[in-house]
């Protein structure tokens, strides 16, 4: 079912109220088991609410599937012309085994091409689009009412249904809530990304001149971007970028940080 994607979550390491490093969050079987339980619970709740209007969490079938097919072709792989989550997952599993060092970058590219998740209104008897990333038709968010308003709304819907009461929200209200939750989630993620960049710049500002092993993660008209292996820091290769392509390994020297902008610049060592 669900797409096997790897996203590296980086967290600051704080000592005496100072950010001294950034570290990758390690996953284990326990965290994976919890995620599986959460997905199962959300599916059960979604099916429970099928007969009433409710909120759904969806990831639409990718409109840019052709680009995913092209991406697979660059790895000498072939995907079907029409969106197929199982075929995509099989491709991802093969790439994870063949090239684990670059799998997080491949995962990020696929996530961007699939597109973001969103909240939508599902009317009773009118199924909403499913969740392409999880390969399920019925899905909602219900397990974190302490930090997501959409989950709180869903819990209220479940409570009213079990009590035999009428729906506490009209369809118009649910539609507005869905749009607002999607908008606020996107805004929050943008802030998270910007703060992560600034925290990384804070952690690296005292390491100017140090040399790191790195991998090229992007080569565009805007510049060549690299990720150091330890710690996992993304930055711009400001000097010595000629002749490099995505996937190339190299040594880089940290030459500049800008905490206010979240910029980290390297030069080829």
The answer to the question of residue 36 being in a domain is yes
Residues 173 and 258 in one domain: no
Q: Is the pLDDT score of 247 beyond 80?
A: no
Alpha carbon 183 to chain centroid, angstroms? 16
Higher pLDDT, 255 or 101: 255
Q: What pTM did the predictor assign?
A: 0.84
Which of 171, 192, 213 terminates a domain? The answer is 192
CA-to-CA distance for 251 and 60, rounded, in angstroms? 40
pLDDT digits (tens, 9 = 90+) for 59-73: 999 989 999 999 999
Q: Give percent of the chain with pLDDT exceeding 70.
A: 100
Q: Do 40 and 167 fall within a single domain?
A: yes
CATH code assigned at 259: 2.40.50.140
Non-local (6+) Cβ contacts of 34 within 8 A are none
Q: According to DSSP H, which parts of 49-204 are helical?
A: 65-73, 85-98, 103-114, 149-162, 171-204
- My answer on whether 32 and 73 are in the same domain is yes
Are 221 and 253 in the same domain? yes
Assigned domain for 1 exists: no
Specify whether 162 is located in the same domain as 233: no
Task: Identify whether 4 is part of a domain.
Answer: no
**Domain endpoint, select from 192, 216, 243:** 192
| pLDDT tens figures, 138-148 | 999 999 999 99
Q: Report how many domains make up the chain.
A: 2
Tell me the residue range of the domain where 161 lies: 10-192
């Amino acid at each position: 079912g669900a797409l096997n994607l790897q996203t590296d979550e980086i967290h600051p390491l704080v000592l005496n109220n100072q950010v001294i490093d950034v570290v990758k969050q390690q996953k284990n079987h326990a965290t994976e088991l919890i995620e599986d339980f959460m997905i199962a619970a959300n599916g059960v709740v979604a099916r429970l609410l099928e007969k009433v209007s409710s909120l759904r969490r969806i990831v639409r079938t990718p409109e840019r599937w052709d680009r995913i097919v092209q991406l697979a072709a660059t790895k000498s792989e072939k995907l079907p012309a029409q969106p197929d989550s199982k075929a995509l997952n099989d491709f991802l599993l093969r790439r994870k085994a063949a090239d684990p060092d670059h799998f997080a970058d491949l995962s990020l590219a696929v996530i961007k091409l699939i597109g973001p998740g969103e909240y939508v209104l599902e009317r009773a008897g009118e199924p909403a689009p499913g969740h392409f990333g999880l390969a399920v038709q019925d899905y909602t968010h219900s397990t974190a009412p302490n930090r997501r308003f959409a989950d709180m709304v869903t819990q209220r819907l479940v409570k009213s249904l079990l009590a035999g009461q009428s729906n506490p929200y009209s369809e118009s209200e649910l539609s507005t809530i869905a749009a607002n939750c999607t908008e606020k989630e996107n805004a929050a993620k943008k802030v998270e990304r910007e703060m992560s960049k600034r925290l990384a710049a804070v952690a690296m500002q005292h390491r100017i001149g140090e040399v790191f092993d790195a991998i090229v993660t992007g080569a565009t008209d805007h510049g060549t971007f690299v990720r150091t292996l330890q710690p996992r820091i993304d930055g711009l290769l400001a000097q010595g970028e000629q002749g490099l392509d995505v996937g190339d390994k190299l040594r880089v020297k940290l030459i500049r940080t800008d905490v206010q902008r979240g910029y980290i610049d390297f030069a080829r060592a």
